[in-house]
A = this chain, B = another copy of it.
Amino acid sequence: MISIDIVLLWLDLVGVFFFAVSGSLLAARKQFDIVGSVLLASIVALGGGVIRDIIINAGPPIAFTNPAYLAPPLLAAMLVYFLFSSVQRFTSLLTLFDAGGLALFCITGTLKALTAGVNPVSAILLGVTTAVGGGLLRDITANEIPTLFNARDLYALPAFVGAGLTTLLWHLGTFTGLTACIIAGVVFAFRVTAWRRS
């Protein structure tokens, strides 16, 4: 049987990749070069997790100790640079990848906090911080008004729902790889629906 740690690592790495693509797409729209693209991808993809690990205060952030975390931003910057340079529908793509990252990070962030022995309320808060932190850093760094504050869009609420469901299932003892995927699907659908209606 696959341990929860392995599942957590893979979900985290996929979330890192999704956020990295959103960073590279914004870099492409802002006409940054390939180095700027790698950097913005890294800030978005690793920023939320670094903030989470600093707050949990259990040793150096994983992004700085496990080199596997450097692969997704590099891969994302390459892909976007060679494939999407002519694509005009940046905003839709950016939002979809961002929603994917949000859906996975609110789960992995909450889970890391719970396994570190944090109380439920703080675990939810840390999950949301992990999920919205990277995107907030992306928008601040690129000098845009953060998506988080768009009055006609819902961004933090789906993350709250995901972090809340994760905490609930964890305490009920029914958190598995399957239920994790269901939560991720719900959060992703909620986020994309909210964005479409705005």
A interface list, Cβ under 8 A from B? 27, 30-33, 35-36, 39-40, 50, 54-57, 59-61, 64-65, 67, 70, 118-119, 121-122, 125-126, 136, 140-146, 148-152, 154-157
Contact = CB atoms under 8 A, between A and B. Distances in A.
A64 B126 contact: yes
A18 B56 CA distance: 27
B149 A27 contact: yes
A85 B198 CA distance: 22
A27 to B, nearest CB: 7
B67 A149 contact: no
Given A67-B121, A140-B141, 12 more contacts: A30-B149, A33-B152, A35-B155, A35-B157, A36-B150, A39-B149, A54-B57, A64-B122, A65-B119, A140-B140, A142-B145, A143-B144
Contacts of A55: 50, 54, 60-61, 64
Please state the number of chain copies in the assembly: 3
Contacts of A50: 55
Nearest to A137: B140
Contact of A60 (B32, B118, B140, B149): B118
Nearest to A27: B149
A148 B43 CA distance: 12
Given A50-B55, A70-B121, A122-B65, A148 B60 contact: no
